[in-house]
Amino acid sequence: MQDSLQNIVEPLLQWYAVHKRELPWRRDREPYHVWVSEIMLQQTRIEAVRRYYERFMQALPDVASLSRIPEDDLLKLWEGLGYYSRARNLRKAAQIIMQDYNGIFPRSAQQLRKLPGIGEYTAGAVASICFDERVPAVDGNVLRVIARVTGSRENVLLPETKKAVSARLADIIPEQAGTFNEALMELGELVCSPDGTPDCTHCPLSAQCTAYRDDLTGELPVRIKSVRRRREDKTVFLLITDDGRIAIEKRTAPGLLSGMYQFPNTDGFCTDGQIAALMEQWQFVPSEIRFIRDAKHAFTHIDWYMKGYLVRGTNSGGHFLWVSPAELEQSYPLPTAFRIFL
């Protein structure tokens, strides 16, 4: 297998020199730019990240500015990207870089892995792209390419499979380590696609690819999920006063969406009587209660099934924060799970 992998290096680099995309975070090798983009790209497609990246860089152009931003402002800036712990860890890491490294980005993957939110992949990506350290950066795209090239039937969702692929790639990484890692990721994104219909006729590795030779691209890579998803039912209320102010509250409990703002909600699907009891408890006197829609939002291991209600009326002393639509848009980070009801 090692010999076959060694043969992918030159054709891959030649292909990348011609076909690589112009992306905002590729304009230079500044580690801050690469780091932020890699964190944003976790769980998110490249095209969706572009506008968030540009907005983030305009607001926070360097590590120092990221280290100083208040958490609510950071979460508002991140709004829509999801997985908000990524943003919090970015800020924590920036604060450590300012305090422990005098604002200078660590240059090695080993040092980078010590920072919050930076795992094996991100450390390898930043260290190789920015400093040409010869370390692998193995994401889902890379796992897919290697599984197809080698014909591997190992489950790519298992940590040990990723570790084994990283070890094999570490032996073949050339001096242009960053270019090689980006080329592998780019090939997986553009050509060796995940939907079972890769563009094999335009792939620079088709001559070495076991899956192409044996018509296995629809079967590889093997992905066997072992995590059972949990369902949670919720009733969500869009409470609006006569003067147009909207009720929100901050999620204070640790865990899912901690520190974000939400519309008032309760577990389970409410009956009319339960809704009336909640309005009394919240000291909100309704003049109109109207069903908005059903909605579903998927988190990593949990699916929220939601019923949303619009309730217009008068606030008579409830504990919620009442904000104008403009304030909600500008100042309060509201997760996509709740923005659905706007």
Long-range contacts of 87-96 (CB under 8 A, 24+ apart): 88/117, 88/259, 89/39, 89/116, 89/117, 89/118, 90/35, 90/36, 90/39, 90/66, 90/117, 91/66, 91/67, 92/116, 92/117, 93/117, 93/118, 94/63, 94/64, 94/66, 94/67, 95/67
The pLDDT of residue 126 is 98
**Domains, the chain, ranges and CATH?**
2-213 (1.10.340.30), 230-339 (3.90.79.10)
Chain mean position to CA 50 = 13
Chain mean position to CA 2 = 32
Identify the CA nearest to 170 among candidates 336, 22, 9. 9
Peptide bond into 221 cis (omega under 30): yes
The pLDDT of residue 123 is 98
The pLDDT of residue 194 is 84
The Cα–Cα gap between 52 and 199 comes to: 29
Is there a contact between 262 and 335 (Cβ–Cβ < 8 Å)? yes
The pLDDT of residue 47 is 84
The pLDDT of residue 2 is 41
Candidates 10, 38, 133, 189; catalytic one: 38
Structure tokens at 116: 């919050």
10-residue stretch averages of pLDDT, the chain, 342 residues long: 76 97 94 97 87 96 98 93 92 98 96 96 98 96 96 95 96 96 96 87 95 94 85 97 95 83 96 95 95 93 95 90 95 93 91
22 is a catalytic site residue: no
Instruction: Give 247's strand partners.
Output: 322
Q: How many CB atoms lie within 10 A of CB 159?
A: 8
For residue 331, CA distances in Å to 72, 73, 101, 274, 324 come to 8, 7, 32, 32, 10
